[in-house]
Structure 1
């Protein structure tokens, strides 16, 4: 049940690019990190013009992807593959000019500290409400 938050700076993506980004991230979560696509939530948000800087200089276009997963549910190799593939997806979808400082974060949260449908991931793993 991962949650993925993509923050963008620059011109907002068109409907097709937005759908490609959401579908692409969902696919990567399922195929690379082994998460259930039907429970993967993706939020794409933009920032105000001029709100993003890199090295203290305003940037025309930027992106940041933060994927929240249960701690210990993925190997270092899976996370590295996800970071590489997610960066590629953003570069392909958002176009040229994406800065080197485009970060992808796999944020691991303890199973007892988050969940969905009113149950923590720890409770789900135990098979009880």
Structure 2
């Protein structure tokens, strides 16, 4: 059940937001083996004059930037999956946004199953009551 938060430099753009919500959901579900129906995406825009890297605004840099944070349940993905996701997400966002500052970044945040969940239930509770990993691979 990934929670995806994307911060983009610039002004609100509903068309771009919809495109990126779709593409990030597809990428996240594909590379991290998650379910689209349990994937949440929030996109926020920050003005170039209010985004700073090394004490200079993006306006001064003449660049765009993004910060992608994806929360996932700890121990549900391998290091190789996470590395592949980092590369692919950076490439996707860089190509769509263009002219990105090299310090634009991707963060995968591993959350403990007992502290992370949705609908009032933790992921640990779901794991314990849905039959563990066998139930998940069977479509539970």
TM-score if structure 1 supplies the norm length? 0.91
Equivalent residue, structure 2, for 1:51: 50
Equivalent residue, structure 2, for 1:36: 35
1:125 aligns with 2:124: no
Cα deviation code 1:67-86 (max 9, x no counterpart): 00001110000001111111
- Structure (1 or 2) with the larger CA radius of gyration: 2
Bigger RCO of structures 1 and 2 (CA < 8 A, at least 6 apart): 1
SS at the partner of 1:101? coil
Equivalent residue, structure 2, for 1:79: 82
Give the Cα separation in 2 of the matches to 1:89 and 1:127. 37
Shift of the alpha carbon at 1:49? Answer: 4.3
Alignment of 1:1-129 (within 5 A): 1-12=1-12, 14-60=13-59, 61-95=64-98, 97-127=99-129
Given that 2:11 and 2:46 are in contact with CA atoms closer than 8 Å, whether structure 1 keeps it comes out as no
Tell me the number of residue pairs that the alignment of Structure 1 and Structure 2 aligns: 126
TM-score if structure 2 supplies the norm length? 0.84
Q: Which has the higher helix share?
A: 2
SS at the partner of 1:108? strand
Cα deviation code 1:42-76 (max 9, x no counterpart): 00001244111111111142110000000111000
Give the Cα separation in 1 of the matches to 2:44 and 2:16. 13
Give the Cα separation in 1 of the matches to 2:103 and 2:48. 18
Give the Cα separation in 2 of the matches to 1:3 and 1:15. 19
Give the Cα separation in 2 of the matches to 1:18 and 1:91. 15
